[in-house]
Amino acid sequence: MKLYYWPGTCALAPHIALEEAGVAYTAERIDLKAGQQGSADYLAVNPKGRVPALATARGILTETPAILAFIAQSFPAARLAPLDDPFAFAQVQSFNSYICSTLHVAHAHRHRGARWASDESSFEDMRRKAPENMAACFSMIERMMLRGPWVMGDDYTICDPYLFTVARWMESDSVRPSDFPAIEAHTKRMSERPAVRKVLAAYTA
């Protein structure tokens, strides 16, 4: 398998999950700053022009929740999701879908306003609103969705690298991590995991 990624994006979540699963893979940086995501070579991999993308023996997968679920289901011995409980697995998917469809979209409004409007004044309004919306998303997670030391409670799952990834965006979105002590503690706990340390070290190498 090959993971296409760029540091600072949600590709960090499946990158960590692959390490946690202990499987063989390679990783290729797609330089978003240089516009590599719009190159013909990369568009042949992912026509959406975004990361992450995961090349598998059966084809390309895109979208973080789908890639995370694929990793968990493909390597059940890693116990990255409650695969034997349809309801519990749906709860995992629900959490990851919330990050993808709501929190990530709120984050994108700060610097991707052209996706939703064409007037520069609209972009500025979106930038002003982004911290409030991001804080509301993290408040929802803090109060109602983070069940214990890990997102789903006592068991580490594919939800945890995803939350860790987006929590790292807080300060750039003018959200104070100290306002969310449970998420802040989760971030610290994640930072101590060997798989997380290995991936982050590769990003800074």
Predicted confidence (pLDDT) per residue in 179-200, tens digit: 999 999 999 999 999 999 999 9
* Average pLDDT over every residue of 54-73: 98
What's the chain's average pLDDT? 96
Instruction: Write down the domain spans for the chain.
Output: 2-79+197-204, 86-193
Fold: same for 2-79+197-204 and 86-193: no
| Percentage, residues of the chain above pLDDT 70 | 100
Tokens of 92: 């995992």
Binned at pLDDT 50, 70 and 90, residue 28 comes out as very high
Going by pLDDT thresholds of 50, 70 and 90, the confidence category of residue 159 is very high
Q: Binning pLDDT at 50, 70 and 90, where does residue 10 land?
A: very high
What's the average model confidence in pLDDT over 86-91? 98
Look at residue 205 and tell me whether its pLDDT is greater than 80: no
Domain covering 86-193 in this structure, CATH number: 1.20.1050.10
Instruction: Report helix angle 12-21 to 64-74, nearest 10.
Output: 0
Report which secondary-structure segment, H or E, holds 62.
strand 59-62
- pLDDT value, residue 119: 85
Mean predicted confidence (pLDDT) in 68-96: 98
User: What are 157's two structure tokens?
Assistant: 């799952």
Classify domain 2-79+197-204 at the CATH topology level. Answer: Glutaredoxin (3.40.30)
Residue type, 110: R
What pLDDT sits at residue 18?
A: 98
